[in-house]
Structure 1
Amino acid sequence: MHLSITPLKLSAIVEEIPSDEEAFKLADTLLDSTTSWKEGKTYHKQVKTYSRAKGPEDGAAWHCRASIHKADEATFAQMWSKLGENKAENEMKFIPNIKKVTHVKELSPTQNIWTLYYTFPPPVAPRVFTTVQMTRLSDVFPRNGIIVSMAVDLSDDQDLAKLEEKGVKGRYVSVERLTELEDGNVEWRMATSSTPGGSIPTYFVERSLPSQIAEDVPHFMKWLHSLPKEE
């Protein structure tokens, strides 16, 4: 098993979805390796970016962002409640390009398949990304939570495939980890590999990805701070 943009098959005959244990082991190993990746730009004074060239088992290059958040900006519990629970539905609230999310299937309490529908300014056509999302929370100090998203191919199950919107099929894999630090701050680290599908040149996608993934951080914080205090 290797984390890549190659979609996993899901049907009555074939199911390639890995176990939680296997997926989280791969995710932790990958995230731990990001500290040695090539360092890129820092955005918004706190979001550092890194990258790793496409390897022999990768479908595309990898990009990472990492940021540290003080407790007065957001606590671990506040961040996990929005990123580790109902992640896809919450992403639609702070990522402008996501216009619709649909829950496709629950595989287990920690594994759910979602399809996300993105729109972009013309002439870029809408994109559809379908993923299985897995979550794990370690609630002992220092707490950490991890979210793994892997591309899924529903074409072998027509009933589930009907839940996808019409658009160009894109694919991505991402691993995201929140870590509570000794000083009470929280590290938010995410690594992703993706392709939008269609005819968008690879060099354009790779060049724009660092800034795109960095933007998710202030978008999330602005949305989080807009919620009623009791949330």
Structure 2
Amino acid sequence: MATSTLGPLVRLWGLHTEQLPPPSATADELTPLLVAILQEAVPFIDSAAPKEAPNSKADPRLWKPKGNHAHADSKARVEVLERIIPAAELEKVKGSSQGKVKAETWCCRRSVHEDREETGSASWDEFVACFREHHAESEKAFTPACLDAHEALRWDCSGVVVDDVQEGGVAWTGLQLRVEEMRHRIGKPVLKDRTFPVLQVTASSSSSSSSSAAAAAADGDEFVVVSIPVPDFGEASDRSKLAKEKGAQIAFYVSVERIRKTSDGRIEWLMATASDAAGVLPAWVQNLAAPGVIWKDVPLFLGWVARERQKEEQPDGEEQRNGGREAAPQASSTGAEADDDVSAVSDVAN
């Protein structure tokens, strides 16, 4: 198991726009940042479900169980964990631009699914298409509270050499680096919508037998998605669309997501996040509610992808199934009924 060492990058305080690479940055200029982010993110997420530990049990010194949930749209149960990182630990890694820091409360969910295109589960190809290739579009499509998504900036990572990015015992390739802006509804009319600008890194495990970086990523059996807040992006960048809108309430979230094939042929879906909705909503209220919310993404996605398959199977549909999902899902597929479905749950506290 990789050592879970905290760092200054994958943090809720985020990055300033001036810390981002220039849009024209070369592979050599991008590589140090990508390596540094993976060096923090990969060991951190592995501590919640170590690949080398029996049954991938979390390190009990770090992560505490917060429940185990079932839903009709998911054949797999969803385990929820929580980790509180004290302010004293974060003080050791903060940069000179940070003032007084607060403790971070991270929530994590873990579920293990059959690699099948069937109700209550999803195939590896579907996970890759929806979360590695089209993460923001997919989130907007299956999450009723996600109102808008905008890719503001993307860097060309095609020249990043596979051997230059190795962490957690895995060689990483197929790297992607972008700034995404997401807008979420959190409680209208009482609370304003929140806009989240994030720097997002995607990396795939490498197949050493493949002849190119693209082929290596396609053949890999694991990928990670890391999102880091860029709270001043709307003010500091002309690439912004959502964050720069008048009256936009900027909020923060940091997350590390890992999706991988397990040794028995199933798919583990692991995601840890810390967030701050800012505004008038107290942090303690948000932290108290988070364990009861984070797990619902699993049935939301699986219910949505099942409905998408049904649409593709219709003889008069615009698309026919071809064994994989090549196009990004459309936001119009999302309906309010998905939110209603998830409210009918069976929760079992550990």
TM-score between the two structures when normalised by the length of structure 2: 0.61
Question: For residues 40 and 198 of structure 1, what CA distance do their matches in structure 2 show?
Answer: 26
Shift of 1:156: 5.4
From 243, 247, 253, the counterpart of 1:172:
253
From 131, 135, 154, the equivalent of 2:198 is 131
Q: 1:43 aligns with which of 42, 55, 69?
A: 69
Q: Please say which structure displays the higher CA radius of gyration.
A: 2
Partner of 2:145: 97
Following the alignment from structure 2 to structure 1, what is the Cα–Cα distance between the partners of residues 263 and 283?
40
Q: Name the residue aligned to 2:104.
A: 60
Secondary structure, counterpart of 1:159 in structure 2: coil
Q: Share of identical aligned residues, percent?
A: 25
Larger proportion of strand: 1
Structure 2: stretches of 5+ with no match in the other structure: 1-6, 22-29, 49-57, 71-75, 91-101, 158-175, 208-218, 313-320, 326-350
Deviation at 1:47, TM superposition (A): 0.5
Is 1:7 matched up with 2:9?
Answer: no
Give the corresponding residue for 2:189: 122
CA contact (8 A) 1:170 1:197 kept: yes
1:192 matched to 2:269? The reply is no
1:143 aligns with 2:143: no
RMSD, aligned α-carbons: 2.1
Q: What count of residue pairs does the alignment treat as equivalent?
A: 229
Aligned to 2:212: none
Q: Distance in 2 between matches of 1:178 and 1:118?
A: 24
Question: 1:157 is matched with which residue?
Answer: 236
Question: Is this contact kept in 2: 1:175–1:190, CA < 8 A?
Answer: yes
Q: Do 1:54 and 1:61's aligned partners in 2 also have CA atoms closer than 8 Å? A: yes
What's the TM-score, normalizing by structure 1?
0.91
> How many Å apart are 1:223 and its aligned residue?
1.4
Q: 1:39 to 1:142 in 2, by over 3 A?
A: farther
CA contact (8 A) 1:171 1:196 kept: yes
- For residues 10-25 of structure 1, what are the structure 2 equivalents within 5 Å? 10-11=17-18, 14-15=19-20, 19-25=33-39
